[in-house]
Amino acid sequence: MRKTYQMEDLDCAVCAAKMEDAIRKIDGVESVSINYIMQQMTIEADESRLAGIMKQASKACRKIERNCRIIM
């Protein structure tokens, strides 16, 4: 399933690329693309596991940029 989330305080484009890398490694994620300019993350993942995946993704993002949040 494909879903788009709004992100907040994503302030660096290099970080966005790093977040993509980190999230792609999460089990169950088929594809992820972060649009830095729109501050949006489009993720394609197994729907039944989406909640868990998003929790991990959000953690991965905070690890890369302290203030960055995914609005869910």
Partner 1 sequence: MTGKQRKNLIRIIVAVVLTVLAAIFAPDGWLGLLLYLLPYVVVGADIVFDAVTGIFRGRFLDEKFLMAVATIGAFAIGEYLEAVAVMLFFQVGELFESIAVGKSRRNIMALMNIRPDKASVLRQGEEFEVSPEEVKVGEKIVVRPGERIPLDGMVAEGTSSVDTSALTGESLPADISVGDKVISGTVNLSGVITVEVQSEYSESTVARVLELVQNASSKKARTENFITRFARVYTPCVVAGATLLAVVPPLVFSQDFGEWLHRGLVFLAVSCPCALVISVPLSFFGGIGRASKEGILIKGSGFMESLARTKQVVFDKTGTLTEGRFSVSQIHPVGIAEDELLRLAAFAESSSLHPIARSVVAAYDGEIDTTLITQMQEHSGRGVEALVKGQRIYAGNRDFIEKVAEMPRISATGTVVHVAKENEYLGYITLADSIKPHAKEAVAQLRALGVRKTVMLTGDREDTARRVGEELQIDEVYAQLLPEDKVAAVERMIPECSPLVFVGDGINDAPVLTRSDVGVAMGALGSDVAIEAADVVLMDDKLSKLPRAIDISRRTMAIVRQNIVFALGIKGLVLILGAFGIVGMWAAIFADVGVMILAILNAMRTLAQKSK
**C-alpha to C-alpha distance for 63 and 59, rounded to whole angstroms:** 6
Pick from 24, 42, 52, 69 the residue near partner 1 by CB under 8 A: 42
- Residue number with CB closer to partner 1 (49 or 62): 62
Angle at 37 between CA 42 and CA 8, to 5 degrees: 70
Residue 36 touching partner 1 (CB under 8 A): yes
Cβ 32 vs Cβ 42: under 8 Å: yes
Residues in touch with partner 1 (CB under 8 A): 4, 9, 11-15, 17-18, 33, 35-40, 42, 63-64, 66
